[in-house]
Copies of this chain bind each other. A is one copy, B any other.
């Protein structure tokens, strides 16, 4: 997927050390500065130097936290959660339906959690090729985890061509949905669009 905001409900109440808390703050500061600057000036016009200045850290630090500029916008902590959720679905459920349930839940969470950030990210995905490309790269990792989960539930290898095609198609469809949604003023109901897309896959892409 592509969400971020609050990482899954804090497992560790047990107090992060000051160090860790500061790191988290820096991370957030960088991201917020980035989103703000991009909203004001556009993506390409915003340099990492400006981001660093706005977040009050050095450029070095920005790169320590995010490997690329695109990652500042995209980073995503949902994969592990989704993996667990998929594994938790009933074993006899068709994989496509498991994915549907999990995605629906994920989307719901994101929209409650931080709708604006999600909206802005979707728009960037629509408009900035570099971001879309990086997003797709990120999806490659998601794809791996999804393949693992699907493989283990169906008793196939995760390198099985059919498994790979499954995950690649599902994620590609999800990406199209997101872009479609962003391209239509973000007015549609995401859950409905996801259902349509998955139904289309389920029906064998008959047009």
Interface residues of A (CB under 8 A from B): 94-96, 129, 132-134, 136-137, 140, 150, 154, 156, 159, 161-166, 168-173, 175-177, 180, 183, 193, 196-197, 200-207
Q: Given A96-B206, A133-B136, A171-B172, 15 more contacts at CB 8 Å?
A: A95-B205, A129-B137, A156-B207, A159-B180, A161-B180, A161-B193, A161-B196, A163-B207, A164-B176, A165-B205, A166-B200, A168-B175, A169-B205, A202-B204, A202-B205
Q: List 27 A-B contacts (CB under 8 A).
A: A94-B206, A95-B207, A96-B205, A96-B206, A129-B137, A132-B137, A133-B133, A136-B136, A159-B180, A159-B183, A161-B176, A161-B193, A161-B200, A162-B200, A164-B176, A164-B180, A165-B173, A165-B177, A165-B197, A166-B200, A166-B205, A168-B172, A168-B175, A169-B169, A172-B172, A201-B201, A204-B204
Tell me how far the C-beta of A37 lies from the nearest C-beta in chain B, rounded to whole angstroms.
24
Question: Which of B132, B137, B154, B173 has a CB less than 8 Å from the CB of A207?
Answer: B154
